[in-house]
Chain A
Amino acid sequence: MSPLVSVESLTKLFPVKRRVFALRVRQYVHAVDGVSFSVEEGEIFGLAGESGCGKTTTGKLLVKLLEPTAGRIALEGQDITSIRRGEAMRTFRRKVQMIFQDPYESLNPRFTVFDTIAEPLLIQGVRSLAEREALVAEILAQVGLTPPETFMFRYPHELSGGQRQRVAIARAMVIRPKFVVADEPTSMLDVSIRAGVMDLLLGLRQELGVSYLYITHDLAVARYMCDRLAVMYLGKIVEVGPTEEVLQNPLHPYTQALIAAVPVPDPTYKREPPEIKGDVVAPINPPPQCRFLPRCPKAQEICQRSPHPPLVDRQGHWVACYLA
Chain B
Amino acid sequence: MPLLDVRNLTMHYVTKMGDVHAVDDVTFAIEHGEAIGLVGESGCGKTSIALTLLRLLPDNAKFLGGQVLFEGVDLTRLPEGEMRRIRWRGISMIFQAAMNSLNPVYRVGDQIIEAMQTHMNVSYAQARRRVAELFDLVGLAPELMDRYPHEYSGGMKQRAVIAMALACDPKLVIADEPTTALDVIVQDRILRRIDEVRKQLNMAMMYISHDIAVIAEVAQRIGVMYAGNLVEFGDTLTIFQRPAHPYTIALMSAFPSLKGEKRKLQGLPGEPPDLLRPPSGCRFHPRCAFATQVCTAQMPPYEEIEPDHFVACWHPQPRRS
Contact = CB atoms under 8 A, between A and B. Distances in A.
Nearest to B258: A220
Contacts of A160: 271
A274 B265 CA distance: 27
Interface in B193-228: 210-214, 216-217
Contacts of A221: 256
Interface stretch (B10-18, B82-90, B104-112, B179-187): B179-187
A285 B254 CA distance: 42
A261 B187 contact: yes
B5 interface: no
Contacts of B250: 192
Chain B: interface residue count, which band? 35 or more
B256 A220 contact: yes
A50 B267 contact: no
Nearest to A243: B262
Interface residues of A, number: 41
A301 interface: no
Interface string B78-117: 0000000000000000000000000000000000000000
A261 B252 contact: no
Given A50-B185, A217-B183, A192 B258 contact: no
B192 interface: yes
B223 to A, nearest CB: 15
A279 B216 contact: no
A162 B269 CA distance: 12
B41 A190 contact: yes
A264 B185 contact: no
Nearest to A192: B268
A257 B185 contact: yes
A161 to B, nearest CB: 8
B256 A50 contact: no
B240 interface: yes
A198 B214 contact: no
Given A264-B216, A273-B188, A274-B185, A191 B255 contact: yes
Interface of A: 50-51, 160, 162-163, 190-196, 198-199, 217-221, 223-224, 244, 247, 257-259, 261-269, 271, 273-274, 276, 279-280
Given A190-B272, A280-B183, 17 more contacts: A190-B42, A217-B184, A223-B256, A223-B257, A224-B256, A244-B262, A262-B184, A263-B188, A264-B257, A264-B258, A265-B240, A265-B255, A266-B216, A266-B259, A267-B217, A273-B188, A276-B185
